[in-house]
Amino acid sequence: MDAIQNFFQENGHNLLVQTWQHLYISLAAVILGIVVAVPLGIALTRSPKIANFVIGVVGVLQTVPSLAILAFIIPILGVGTFPAIIALFIYALLPILRNTFIGVRGVDPNLIESGKGMGMTNWQLITNVEIPNSISVIMAGIRLSTVYIIAWATLASYIGAGGLGDFIFNGLNLYRPDLILGGAIPVTILALIVEFFLGKLENALTPKPLRDARNNG
């Protein structure tokens, strides 16, 4: 108990600042991933042959070790918050892109044909039929991606972007278990909290008939 109290006395302010930095970097990367991957995933459902190639390329990028991505980005973008966001954005793409593609492709064709029969434009079909009926699959990709990114954002410390990784790597360098735990535990809690709220958001965005069917199933 004394060790915990001493940790907060010494690092309480830094913990708040670095938690905010960590959350900012993570959410910025995920939001950028959503802005790019969701429209791209929907567009790829119109061109399945191109989709296999694009998803394959994004999949290959995600197999590259995160430190290698950071090392590659440093000569181009330098160090700091922006390069860290770009590196994490690359890792955010695949789960969101793949789930968007799978979700939209899995929408009942009869619903789409009904929409066309009602005179809906392509944009109206996307916003009123395809996205609402695939939102749970898309959100599953976003939730998975967000949890991964919050964990991987600890590596942003390597390029001077701050975040809770500063505690972890300082603890490793100084052989300070309290610093390691002071970074690792908040990262875990942050991931759980964000995942919980994204789950609530998914439930709110899912159309009621689909939500009721899922709950009853």
What single string gives the DSSP state of each residue in 104-133?
Answer: HHTS-HHHHHHHHHTT--HHHHIIIIIHHH
Residue 4 lies in a domain: no
Tens digits of pLDDT across the chain (217 residues): 666 667 677 777 788 889 999 999 999 999 999 999 999 999 999 888 898 888 888 888 788 777 778 878 888 888 888 999 998 998 899 899 999 999 999 988 888 888 888 888 888 888 888 988 899 999 999 999 999 999 989 988 888 888 888 888 888 888 888 888 888 999 999 999 999 999 888 888 877 766 665 666 5
What single string gives the DSSP state of each residue in 29-79?
Answer: HHHHHHHHHHHHHHHHTT-HHHHHHHHHHHHHHHHS-HHHHHHHHHHHH-S
Q: How far is CA 209 from CA 111, 205, 216, in A?
A: 14, 12, 10
Residue 3 lies in a domain: no
Q: What is the pLDDT of residue 7?
A: 67
* Number of domain units in the chain: 1
* Domain CATH number, residue 180: 1.10.3720.10
Residue 168 lies in a domain: yes
- The residues, ordered by sequence, that sit 6+ positions from 210 with a Cβ below 8 Å of its Cβ are 132, 133, 136
Give me the domain span that covers residue 87.
13-207
Residue 138 lies in a domain: yes
pLDDT per residue as tens digits for the range 53-100:
888 888 887 887 777 788 788 888 888 889 999 989 988 998 999 999
* Structure token pair of residue 68: 């290698």
Residue 189 lies in a domain: yes
- One-letter amino acid for residue 119 of the chain: G
What single string gives the DSSP state of each residue in 126-160?
Answer: IIIIIHHHHHHHHHHHHHHHHHHHHHHGGGGGGGT
Please give the radius of gyration of the chain, using alpha carbons only, rounded to the nearest integer.
20
Residue 213 lies in a domain: no
Backbone phi, psi, residue 85, to 5°: -65, -40
**pTM, to two decimals:** 0.89
**How many angstroms from the chain centroid is the CA of residue 182?**
23
Q: What is the pLDDT of residue 214?
A: 61
Asked if residue 93 lies in contact with residue 62, where contact means CB atoms within 8 angstroms, the answer is yes
SS3 assignment, position 215: helix
- The residues, ordered by sequence, that sit 6+ positions from 207 with a Cβ below 8 Å of its Cβ are 132, 133, 135
Residue 8 lies in a domain: no
Euclidean distance between CA atoms 190 and 192, whole angstroms = 5
Residue 43 lies in a domain: yes
Euclidean distance between CA atoms 120 and 130, whole angstroms = 12
- One-letter amino acid for residue 46 of the chain: R
